[in-house]
Structure 1
Amino acid sequence: MPTADELINPRTTDLLASVMAAAGAAPAAALRGCGALLDELPFGRRVTTVRDAVLADLPDAYPAFADVVRTALSRPDFTGWTTFPVNAAVTERALACDVFEPGLELLAALTPRLTAETAVRPFLREDLPRALRQVLEWTGHPDHHVRRLASEGTRPRLPWAPRLTALVTDPAPALPVLDALYQDPSEYVRRSVANHLNDISHDHPDTAVATAARWLARPAPTTPALVRHGLRTLVKAGRPDALALLGHDPAVRVRVVGPDVRTPEVRLGEHLVFGFEITNTGSRGARLVLDYVIHHRKANGGLAPKVFKLTTRDLAPGERWSAVRRHPFRELTTRRYHPGVHRVRLQVNGQAHDFAEFTLDTPTGAALTGPDGTSPAPHREEAAR
């Protein structure tokens, strides 16, 4: 994942200064000077620093401000991370000037250059019903980036962005947006719908399952895959109604042998290797969703489980299937590994089976923690176009 300085840096601000100056904000002095202020700042502070420079250089009145931004959009080099702080500036200026719908429309024009999903959220917090009326119109937009903005921008738990508390409490107001998009022809849009449904499942599993069931009652050919992705957290948690909706019987009769740990001692940077065997002992064919759970050692000596996807497989009555899995233990910015005894177990249709132990060795200082220096980059098919 790129670091903050690879995304927004003095080169970015120099380019943005040239773009804005040519679009009518000459001499763009604040932008030309803010690159020197970015050193060692985390990503969020870089965005706000450049945003404030945009606000300082562009006109105070919203119509003139928007004219400069729209003129900049005529330039092909105004794209990617150059636009990200401008999105934030549009939101700041539009809300300060009480220019609601035009501000959202300008974000829709910007989002094909690099997603404006974070920038729409203050509008949703300011006036949810009013913002959702505009968002619902986006679901019929000819540009798939704008349609995707409707789903992604309203996600209750969008990564790297403040949660939308109102939609965490009650996701129902945004459901018409998802209903309009779950059959979208763009996989990019459908992926966002699935992730939005997964967000809902964290706080309202009944609503998520009921929504998925409603979509499966009127499916497109792509709907089963969307629902599988949208219910993935509930499937990993072994939620019976989610498993049943996807055709997985939580009470399936299977015999599980393993996991057979082939690497009882693992160093950070190496792989845990384990084998297993599963037999369908029932009288009917079984559709199995197979996961494995790593119980990571915590700093206090306890264990914290994390579920990882293995595969989905159909087994005929009496059929036996065996495989070997390699699980990497890499240095990550999002997890600190602690040395000691860990566990691995298999999970079949949400049901946990026996575990096996292995020892992880982590050299002092080798493992990292937190998103230090990494990009809270929104999920996009491209960083720049």
Structure 2
Amino acid sequence: MPTADELLNARTVEELADCLIRAHAGPVPRLSACGAELSDRRFSERVAAIRDALLADLPADFGSFSALLHAALGDEKFTGWMIFPVTEAVAVRGIEFVEPALGLLADLTPRLTAETAVRPFLRVAQDRTLSVVESWTRHPDAHVRRLASESTRPRLPWAVRVPGLTADPRPTLPILDALYRDDSEYVRRSVANHLNDISHDHPDLAVAVATRWAHAPDASTAWVLRHGLRTLVKKGHPGALGLFGYSADTPVHVAGPVVRTEVVAIGGSLEFDCTIRNTGPGPAPYLVDYSVHFLRANGSHMAKVFKLSTRTLEAGAEWSIVRRHSFVPITTRRYYPGTHYLQMQVNGVPHPTTQFELTAADSPRRT
């Protein structure tokens, strides 16, 4: 993952200043000095510093401010991560000018998405903002159509929450209805992630929406539904499982998991196997996942479900599964040495756990 310095640095600021000067902004002294102030700052702090410098240098009048940025859009070098603080500046300067400010964000988003900059408008003028955003679903540019779905996600990463949409996401459903069959995979992925966001707080609503889409599908709808309901499927939500043909009541015998590596060093892999047997009178579909109960710093455990595979088994048939789970360090999870647990989940139903030990990377393995 790129570092803050790789995304926004002194060179980025210099290039942004050059673009604005070529767009006849006049001197931009605060912005020009800002590049030297970014060292040792986090990404969000860099964005804020550049945003504030832009607001200090550019016209206070929104009409003049907007005209300048539209002029800069004529420069092909006005693109990339320099756009992020520009859109945040639009959210500040244009907050009282909802429709024209959102129009400016739509123009900027093909250079780098403006999704987080839409959030302040949703917080202060939800209905007016959604009226504009819904019009974006008919835009010829896929970047703008994606902006319609992405900017209104209830749990948009790195963005401020919009309490109104978290409490009641139904106002965004016309946007999703218009886009779930979009020609662009880029747009459809955003729609699926938006539906998954809804599922966290309103699971039954998410299933109802997915069911409606399932009755009016295109060639890509099945993927959108699987991705959009992925959290509910992992949680064993009956409605989500049923939409894909799985039932928690399907007869099954699960042997395992059998841990092949009872001690795993951080940086290594857990190896395990299990056997799934259809104990029913006829063929049945099985959705098999597994969960790792990770030890936390406070001594408690937190389970995370991982996808494994699916298969339809004839009556009496068995399915043997072998899996490796990596404990190579990643930025989104910290590992703590100690006892962890492993558990199989079939058609949303968890089965008994087994334990294994995770050791520090330089600890010897037990024999």
The answer, yes or no, to whether TM exceeds 0.5 is: yes
1:142 paired to 2:140: yes
What is the CA-CA distance between 1:286 and the residue it aligns to?
1.9
Which residue does 1:65 correspond to in 2?
65
Where in structure 2 are the equivalents of 1:302-313 lying within 5 Å?
302-313=300-311
| Aligned ranges 1:199-214 → 2 under 5 Å | 199-214=197-212
In structure 2, how many angstroms separate the alpha carbons of the residues matched to 1:115 and 1:61?
A: 24
Query: Aligned-pair distance for 1:350?
Result: 0.4
d(CA) in 1 for partners of 2:115 and 2:94?
Answer: 16
Match of 1:175 among 173, 176, 179: 173
Partner of 2:89: 89
Q: How do 1:207-246 residues align onto structure 2 when only pairs under 5 Å count?
A: 207-246=205-244
CA offsets 1:133-173 (integer angstroms, 9 cap, x no match): 00000001011110000000000111111111101101111
Q: Say if 2:267 and 2:361, in contact at 8 Å, map to a contact too.
A: no
User: For 1:290-323, what per-residue CA distance to the aligned partner results, in whole angstroms no more than 9, with x for missing partners?
Assistant: 2110011122322211111112222232332222
Matches for 1:107-118 after TM superposition, within 5 Å: 107-118=105-116
CA deviation digits over 1:334-367, x for unaligned, max 9? 3222111101111011001122211001359xxx
In structure 2, what is the Cα distance between the partners aligned to 1:185 and 1:352?
A: 38
Matched residue SS, 2:311: strand
SS at match of 1:18: helix
Select the residue among 101, 104, 112 that pairs with 1:103: 101
Number of the residue aligned with 2:184: 186
Answering whether residue 240 of structure 2 is matched by residue 270 of structure 1, we say no
Instruction: Output one character per residue of 1:210-269: Cα deviation in whole Å (capped at 9) or x when no partner.
Output: 111111111112112111111111111111111001111111112212111111111111
SS of equivalent to 2:217: coil
Q: In structure 1, what is the Cα distance between the partners aligned to 2:260 and 2:162?
A: 45
Alignment partner, residue 365 of structure 2: none
Deviations 1:79-132 (A, max 9, x none): 11011110101111111xx21101000100111111111001111111100000
1:6 corresponds to = 6
Query: Aligned ranges for residues 16-35 of structure 1 at < 5 Å?
Result: 16-35=16-35
Quote the sequence identity (%). Answer: 55
Q: Which residue does the alignment assign to 1:369?
A: none
How far is 1:332 from its partner? 2.8
Which residues of structure 2 form unaligned runs of 5+? 363-367
Task: Name 2:258's counterpart in structure 1.
Answer: 260
Amino acid of the structure 1 residue aligned with 2:52: D
Aligned residues: 362
Residue 354 of structure 1 is matched in structure 2 by 352
Q: Distance in 2 between matches of 1:257 and 1:17?
A: 64
State the secondary structure of the residue aligned to 2:117: coil
Between 217-226 and 8-17, report the one with greater CA deviation.
217-226
Following the alignment from structure 2 to structure 1, what is the Cα–Cα distance between the partners of residues 303 and 154? 24
The amino acid that maps onto 1:53 is A
Amino acid in the other structure paired with 2:191: V
| Distance in 2 (alpha carbons) for counterparts of 1:171 and 1:271 | 40
Distance in 1 (alpha carbons) for counterparts of 2:282 and 2:132: 50
2: CA distance, partners of 1:306 / 1:78: 41
Matched AA of 1:7: L
Aligned to 1:378: none
Match of 2:76 in 1: 76
- For the 8 Å contact 2:259–2:272, the answer to whether it is kept is yes
1:129 aligns with 2:121: no
**Which residue number corresponds to residue 53 of structure 1?**
53
Q: CA deviation at 1:30?
A: 1.4
| CA–CA separation in structure 2 for the residues paired with 1:312 and 1:107 | 43
* 1:250 aligned counterpart, secondary structure: coil
Counterpart of 1:382?
A: none
Query: Does residue 298 of the first structure (1) align with residue 296 of the second (2)?
Result: yes
Partner of 2:205: helix, strand, or coil? helix
Of the two structures, which has the highest relative contact order with CA contacts closer than 8 Å and spacing of 6 or more? 1
SS at match of 1:347: strand
Residue of structure 1 equivalent to 2:153 = 155
Q: Secondary structure at the match of 1:119?
A: helix
Distance of 1:179 and 1:68 partners within structure 2: 35
Q: Secondary structure at the match of 2:275?
A: strand
Match of 1:52, as an amino acid? D
> What TM-score do the two structures reach when normalised by structure 1?
0.91
TM-score after normalising by structure 2: 0.96
What is the DSSP-based 3-state SS (H/G/I as helix, E as strand, rest coil) of the residue aligned with 1:25? coil
What residue in structure 2 maps to residue 367 of structure 1? none
